[in-house]
Amino acid sequence: MRGEGEELTRAESGNAKTAVQVNEAHFIIVSSSSSSSSSSSSSPPSFAVMTESQVSRECDYDHSMPQDEFFEELDDGGGSEVLPDVWQPLDELLSLHPKYHAVFKSAIDQLFYGNGPLPMTERHYIALMAANRHACSYLMDLHRREFDRLGGDADWLNGLTAAPSKIVSLDAINRVLGHQPWSITVEQLKALTKCSAPDNWSLTELVQGVVILSTTHALCSFVFGCGNINPSELTPQEMEAPMLRRSPRSSEESPTGEVEELMKRMAALRDVTNGLDCTDEEKARHFFDMNRESSAIRPEQNGDKKSGRSPPRPGAQFTKDLSFTYVDFAQRPDASSAPTLKIHDFSWEDQGYSCVDELYQVISEHLDRKFHLTQELTYYTMGKHTDVDTSKYRTAVWMYIQSLYGIRHDDYDYAEVNLMLTRPMKTFIKTICCYPERVTDSLRASVMVDFKLSEKVHVILMILEARLQAELLYFLRTVVRLNNSASVAS
């Protein structure tokens, strides 16, 4: 669905650029200067405390370079990192989208094996904690093996009771980010960063730790969404057929007409001038209406239906409070303290990127490329049809995913989601996002029946990246608030 040849575009930030600066006292300040000013000017720049709407993004790389040139670099050897064999089971599905695969491998290589404030063994242990929130056996096995291979303390594998208190302290934020990211608070970050050594986290360490947690949560969604991604001791033949490949029908054999119906709806939406017939108040109402409707979608509960008992969870010793799970955003108990996150007030492009770039620079560009590539990638196909503009469908999928976490894009009309996504498709997306461990073979087989395998994988990649971005936005917004409170206190 998203593709190889499409050039990605970025809005230029204009002449004025803003740089986020963070010092060890945990202050964030903003330095504004004109691009025409000389860097050698003797007059000092003016500084102000950063607010959530003030921080503009400033990238390290040249925005004037077309994105297709960047992807040509990947084809010529850029992004050609070779990950350890334990990551290999992901390759079959990710290789359906070579350009994303290259960016993904580069990001994973940097996050778990590249430069960073945390030792590599601790990175894998943190990922093991995150994978445990969704009982993802493949990822738990992967990070347990890597922790052991890289020389980690074997006692830690007995569970959190044997791990250092600094690592254990991250479990609370692991729970919150993995299930209810909107409820993260400044107090939780203070508890991690303001405590006494050796248990305190620097902001740089915390950002890397949270990127690991959020990436692993999102990878759980991908693994369960695709199905049959297993530990690497299985033979290639045993890993050969992912569950997604087992749809009872294919577009060549017995098309259901879902693709044709989607194409009609996309064409109808394109015929209407976007936004002119819908006021801001109506857009807001459509968002909240959709949130309430989504609350009625109840993913299946695993376990014995007669007894109501859930099956035993593997490796439950690596996290606490397994009863803490996702709740529908519209039904959250702390609605007054956790309002909707409006993307115009805090977005990845305008604020999130800059925060990560200042605190953990080596990963910011990797995240940025993955987010933009996943949304913009298109092969202009849908099922057996070619030359199809799938932008309306792709946008609806991304918007619905982030709405599950209370993120609202102010300029989008969420009535389009109901036109693009059927109730079974919403159920699939919600399950993969919020309860990935509950997905069933029948649920996978019930949606996207006429889609190509690569198109199904692309949808699940959007789930991965939209969920990852949602968790990071709530965390980074809280980091900004933490720093602002510290600046005001001083």
Quickly list H helices, 338-452: 353-359, 361-376, 391-403, 415-420, 423-434, 441-445
**Active site annotation includes 136:** yes
Angle at 381 between CA 237 and CA 266, to 5 degrees: 130
Which tokens sit at 112?
A: 């778990």
Q: Which amino acid is at 175?
A: R
Task: Give the start-end residues of each E strand in 35-95.
Answer: 47-49
Which tokens sit at 299?
A: 């993913």
351/366 Cα distance (integer angstroms): 16
463/225 Cα distance (integer angstroms): 9
Catalytic residue among 136, 220, 226, 433: 136
Closest C-alpha among 157, 148, 146 to residue 85: 146
CB 179 within 8 A of CB 123: no
CB 101 within 8 A of CB 91: yes
Max alpha carbon distance in the chain (Å)? 77
Strands 407-408 and 341-342: parallel
CB 183 within 8 A of CB 124: no
- The number of C-alpha atoms within 13 Å of 223 and in the hemisphere containing its C-beta is 25
What is the enclosing helix (H) or strand (E) of 3?
Answer: none
Q: Which amino acid is at 111?
A: L
Residues recognised as catalytic? 136
